[in-house]
């Protein structure tokens, strides 16, 4: 385990909360401090840390890997931030995008043409972990003159087959 300032801060917070709670049970401060010191790691790792993971939306960031993109589509959200920041795909041709990412999963709708826009490819990135997540991550790749000009991430509401929109 890596000891970080945030970890130390959270441990101190849990210790103080336990100490204050135990002070209401018994007024002997030395005993409350000793019991709080023993219970802090247990309370942190079995109560506080799981609760923190439920309410936060942190996820690991990974470098882009074409093989992982194809094999694990539900974990693409881990790679997209690095892909956008590095401008890895900007200027790439449609053929190169097809090679790296695969065939587009769907095309954006163009209201002016009343048809799908073949210059706006979309890919699903999966669902970021979290207890309150109700949207899935997606990315739109826009082409101009057969070259990528922009990569735009967006969220889409999660719907199931039996739900009405």
pLDDT per position as a tens digit, 40-51: 999 999 988 888
Q: Is residue 86 part of a domain?
A: yes
Same domain, 30 and 89: no
Domain range enclosing 39: 5-55
- Length of the chain in terms of residues written: 165
**Chain mean position to CA 39:** 31
Q: pTM of the predicted model, to two decimals?
A: 0.68
Same domain, 80 and 106: yes
Same domain, 45 and 116: no
Helix, strand, coil % over all residues of the chain, rounded to 5: 45, 25, 30
* Pairing assessment for the beta strands 135-144 and 115-126 based on DSSP bridges: antiparallel
CA gap 91, 66 in Å, rounded: 17
Q: Residue 59: its pLDDT value, please?
A: 67
Quick one: average pLDDT of 1-28? 90
In the chain, the DSSP E strands lie at 106-110, 115-126, 135-144, 147-157
CATH of the domain at 99: 3.30.1450
Q: How many CA atoms lie within 13 A of 79 on its CB side?
A: 22
Same domain, 22 and 72: no
Same domain, 83 and 132: yes
Q: What kind and span of H or E run contains 118?
A: strand 115-126
pLDDT per position as a tens digit, 22-71: 999 988 999 999 999 999 999 999 988 888 877 776 667 888 888 999 99
């Amino acid at each position: 385990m890596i000891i970080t300032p945030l970890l130390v801060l959270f441990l101190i917070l849990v210790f103080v909360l336990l100490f204050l709670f135990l002070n209401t049970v018994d007024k002997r401060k030395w005993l409350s401090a000793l019991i709080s010191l023993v219970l802090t790691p247990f309370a942190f790792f079995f109560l506080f840390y799981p609760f923190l993971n439920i309410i936060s939306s942190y996820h690991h960031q990974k470098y882009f890997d074409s093989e992982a993109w194809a094999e694990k589509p539900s974990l693409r959200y881990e790679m997209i931030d690095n892909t956008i920041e590095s401008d890895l795909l900007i200027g790439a041709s449609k053929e190169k995008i097809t090679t790296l990412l695969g065939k587009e999963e769907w095309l954006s709708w163009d209201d002016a043409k009343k048809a799908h826009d073949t210059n706006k490819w979309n890919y699903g990135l999966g669902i970021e972990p979290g207890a309150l997540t109700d949207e899935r991550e997606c990315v739109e790749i826009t082409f101009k003159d057969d070259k990528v000009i922009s990569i735009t991430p967006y969220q889409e509401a999660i719907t199931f087959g039996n739900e009405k929109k």
